[in-house]
Chains A and B, each alone.
Chain A
Amino acid sequence: MRQNQTMETSDPAVVSRAREGDVEAFGELFRVTHRRIYNFVLSMVTNPEDAADLTQKTYVRAWSALKSLRSDEAFLVWLHRIALNVVRDSRKRIERPTESLDASVEDEDSTGTMEIPDWSLGPEQLVLSEDTQRFVRRAVQRLPEIHRTVVAMHHLEEMEVTAIADVLGVSHGTVLSRLARAREALRKTLEPLLKE
């Protein structure tokens, strides 16, 4: 079952203390946000080592830029924007070969050992086995990056569509459209897991 991943709101008082240079307060902000930021970065770079490195850079940059955070600005949205810029900057420096999106998911993860989810439990109680998780993750990684990013923010981070649009600088409709295209692609790939 998914661990407690409800929409964590960063306490404005803690943000304010961090702005004054309180490292402990910044540590508290890290504790409530890092999982989201790491998964957001991971959705763009796919490699866990790179994701950890870029997440670190995101928080270091955020620490030095905290003074520029407007008091009415949502800390989490602001942090996502920094993460997005950190990833973009890293791409300007290093041109990495991108992973081929043509290979099929089944090439690497056999569906033979996967447990089919128990749909009688209802979507809220759906539990995925380790193998199934790996299979779904692979399927998500094969999506184009613009779709992966919205899938990570919406389904893993449980971010509102408006907040996603705010981070990416696109319209509400664009986010929904990307989610729909991702859903279409995954519906085909995840066919073995879906109930008739």
Chain B
Amino acid sequence: MKPCKDIQTQLADFAVGALAERERAEVESHLQECPTCQRELRALRQAGAVLDALEPEEAPADLWQSIRREIETPKQEPAHAPWWEVLFPARWPRLAYAGLAATAILVAALLMTVSRLSPAEDDETQDFLQRHGMLAWNDPLSDKAALGVMLGRSEVGREIQ
């Protein structure tokens, strides 16, 4: 037979019907011969009976009136909020704004660094456009005025001049 110590850890589960078949049989067999565990089980069942006898709490008497008022009041469309409140809702915590500002500064710094580090790519593009413009000079439909302005500003144009 299992010792009382082991059985008593299972008694609450036994009382609520949570034990599996085999465990339940073990507890039942122990209970038949152990008055101590029988008393413990009785106490657990009495605790359950006390809970069953507990009266539910009463909700406030005017609760339905409040609910009815709320569900029958037509919901008002939210007033058009100014753009700064849409972008920066007041309910956001201050930390979120601080994070947003820090991210913006970081992104700006990154963009500036990148633009300084890669001027060659920009020059290359300009150079390509200028050379393409020169090639189009003889095209009868080309915009001579625009090409002139562009070439006038460019290195290639200065070389021609």
A39–B63 Cα distance when bound, in Å, is: 14
Given A155-B54, A183-B16, A191-B43, 16 further pairs, Cβ under 8 A: A30-B67, A39-B56, A48-B57, A55-B63, A60-B67, A60-B70, A64-B71, A117-B50, A123-B46, A126-B50, A126-B52, A136-B50, A155-B51, A176-B17, A180-B12, A187-B43
Q: Would you call B95 an interface residue if the criterion is a C-beta within 8 Å of the partner chain's C-beta atoms?
A: no
- Flag if A52 contacts B50 (CB, 8 Å): no
9 cross-chain CB contacts under 8 A: A2-B53, A52-B60, A52-B63, A126-B52, A127-B53, A177-B13, A187-B43, A190-B46, A196-B39
- Pairs of residues from A and B, 3 with the lowest C-beta to C-beta distance, nearest first: A123-B49, A176-B18, A38-B59
Nearest residue, chain A, Cβ from B51:
A155
Chain A: residues with Cβ within 8 Å of the partner, total of 53
Within 8 A of A (CB), among B50-77: 50-60, 63-64, 66-68, 70-72
Q: B15's contact among A34, A60, A123, A180, by CB below 8 Å, is which?
A: A180
Nearest residue, chain A, Cβ from B66:
A56
- Flag if B53 contacts A117 (CB, 8 Å): yes
Interface centre among B16, B45, B54, B58 (most CB of A within 10 A): B54
- Flag if B49 contacts A126 (CB, 8 Å): yes
A31–B67 Cα distance when bound, in Å, is: 12
- The binding surface of chain A is classed by DSSP as helix
Chain B: residues with Cβ within 8 Å of the partner, total of 34
Question: Shortest beta-carbon distance, A117 to chain B, in Å?
Answer: 7
Question: Shortest beta-carbon distance, A188 to chain B, in Å?
Answer: 9
Question: Shortest beta-carbon distance, A70 to chain B, in Å?
Answer: 21
Q: Would you call A186 an interface residue if the criterion is a C-beta within 8 Å of the partner chain's C-beta atoms?
A: yes
Q: Would you call B101 an interface residue if the criterion is a C-beta within 8 Å of the partner chain's C-beta atoms?
A: no
